[in-house]
Structure 1
Amino acid sequence: MGSAQGAHHVRPHAGPHRWQRTACKGLDEAIQLARLAGSILVLIHVVEVHPMMVEATTATVWEQLSTAQYDHARGLVEGTRQQLLEAGLKVEAYVQGAAPAARVCDAILAAARSKVCQLIVMGTHGRCGTARAPLGSDAELVLRASPVHVLLVRGD
């Protein structure tokens, strides 16, 4: 990743909380674009609720799992936000949950609308055909339904 602001290099995938490789690639592209345009980078991490987990656990265990997911997400987002601020970027960061009956793509689109984003940048596994059939593709659904431009970045 290039550095438009001197010696600051952002390593959002370091530390105890790590982004998945696909998210790292998307984040790297978003950082470069934000630097070039002097834009505010809006970092959104969606915590997905898995209904199957609810049925397979007690309420206490579910609460512990849910709390751990949100704590992990908050640590990830806050650590990355701090690094981006230290690198001289303007950044807003949010953790939100996908509604139980909603998909991650719905939460991404709602956040983009509410934050008045001009571009959505997201990492994608780039799966197609039967590899993506069981779950669908949140990236594809964001691309189809987005009111703004979408840049999909493959993780490989």
Structure 2
Amino acid sequence: MAKTEKPKSCGIPRMVGIAVLLMIIGFVLRMVESILTMDYYMDPAYFSVWSKLMMPTAGPPPMEFFLASLASSFVIAFIYTWFFHYIRPVLADGSWMRMGACFGLLLFFITTLPGTLGMILIVNLPLSLMAIWAFTGLIIDLIYGLVLAKIC
């Protein structure tokens, strides 16, 4: 942000709109990821690991899972948007791309990476699947950071 630019106003209505946009971006990227890694989800050895909401029976998740996923994604995206709004002044040195990349990496290191490391310790899933989840999380976090820096 140039020294002469005023910070963008990012009130609650705008935060809600941005959270909806982030929710859609994250949902689409996670759907692509799940299609590319479908073999893991269809392996009977891991059926007991998946929640009853996600996989009550063998086969695709029910609509309730997608609705719950969208709702939780919206809440998380709103929290990220709110957090960005309040730490934006700290990140304001440099271009919006630098600010967005810094915020995306911050999200990755305080949310995605610790969550992945915790799951590795307690969930019986292949390390390769968790690495894919972490990599997708990094991509999503960086995109979220860039979107937030550009429009919030």
TM-score tier, shorter chain, comes to 0.3 to 0.5
Question: Could you say which structure has the greater relative contact order, defined with CA pairs below 8 angstroms and 6 or more residues apart?
Answer: 2
Higher helix share: 2
For normalisation by structure 2, the TM-score amounts to: 0.36
Higher strand share: 1
For normalisation by structure 1, the TM-score amounts to: 0.35
Give the greater-gyration-radius structure (CA): 2
